[in-house]
Every structure is written in structure tokens, then in C-alpha cells.
């Protein structure tokens, strides 16, 4: 995935009104396949989590989940 696609995705999420956004390569503890780009946005007390395939296309439905015990949406890398 190119930096250009990352920027576009971040801008789209920001334009939708989200401010607490994480967009990064999926790590071993993330709910996404290897080589995917995982994203989360804070939504009130919870999070919306999803992932993009290597080509930058949505790969499945985003999920609404609760924050992790440390208060973030994803585990730290």
C-alpha cells in the first residue's frame, strides 16, 4: 500500500468526523490478516475496527468493539 493511499484513507476518516484514528500495518495481535492495513477510529466509548487488503481495498465489514483495558482500540506494537 502506498503512502498516497494511507493519506487518502486518513483524510476520508477525518472528513467523516473522526479524530482519534490509527492506520498502520497489521501487527500480530491485531484483528486483521498478515500484510493488511488495520485501522481504528474511536467512536464514543468504543471503537470501529477494520482492515484493508494490500491493494487498499476494504476487506470485510468494520466491527464495533469496546476499547482494550488500556483504553486504546488496538494493542501497542
CA-nearest of 53, 41, 46 to 68 is 46
Phi-psi region of 10 (alpha: psi -120 to 50; beta: other; left: phi over 0): alpha
Q: What is the pLDDT of residue 47?
A: 92
Partners of 51 in beta bridges: 38
Q: What is the pLDDT of residue 77?
A: 58
What's the rounded Cα separation, in Å, for the pair 53 and 46? 24
pLDDT tens, 2-54? 555 555 567 887 888 887 888 889 888 888 888 888 888 888 889 999 888 77
Amino acid at each position: 500500500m502506498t503512502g498516497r493511499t494511507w493519506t487518502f484513507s486518513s483524510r476520508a476518516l477525518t472528513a467523516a468526523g473522526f479524530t482519534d484514528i490509527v492506520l498502520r500495518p497489521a501487527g500480530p495481535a491485531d484483528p486483521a490478516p498478515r500484510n493488511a492495513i488495520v485501522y481504528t477510529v474511536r467512536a464514543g466509548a468504543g471503537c470501529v475496527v477494520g482492515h484493508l487488503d494490500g491493494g487498499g481495498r476494504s476487506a470485510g465489514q468494520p466491527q464495533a468493539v469496546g476499547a482494550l483495558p488500556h483504553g486504546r482500540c488496538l494493542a501497542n506494537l
